[in-house]
Amino acid sequence: MSSLRRIRPLSALALAACAVGTLLVTAPTASASDYRDACYSSVGTRTSANGWAIPARNFKYGSSGVCVREIQSDLASTIGVSEADWPGFIDGLFGPKTDDYVREFQRQAHLDVDGVVGPKTWEALISRTTD
């Protein structure tokens, strides 16, 4: 009987640890505004056609830095990122995964699908992630 008592608490603890581990892997590491402010500080701002402040640079495959983290964070909160792609997705590197998600976002937002985060894509991303 005593061996059953030991197994149950350990099983419950193992399940709880798995659940917490899953939450840690899937939870965003920062809010979009955390990266946005740092992005604005690093590249400056310009005004989009609808009056939104957007980063002063365009970003595409091969770009890197805090503004790419902003793009990745915005994509994760607007269209979502698959569980398989999530680990390490917000890494500041505009590689193939980010390019795929940018293009998917552009399709969903009815923008030109070119993989470039320029004024229209910035405007659409920021308008969907600003409270």
How many structural domains compose the chain? 1
Q: pTM (2 decimals)?
A: 0.75
Q: Is residue 1 part of a domain?
A: no
Nearest to 89 by CA among 44, 43, 30, 41: 30
Enclosing domain of residue 67: 30-129
Q: Is residue 4 part of a domain?
A: no
Q: Is residue 13 part of a domain?
A: no
Per-residue pLDDT in tens (0 to 9) along the chain, 131 residues:
444 444 444 444 444 444 444 333 333 445 556 799 999 999 999 999 989 899 999 999 999 999 999 999 999 999 999 999 988 999 999 999 999 999 999 999 999 999 999 999 999 999 998 86
CATH of the domain at 97: 1.10.101.10
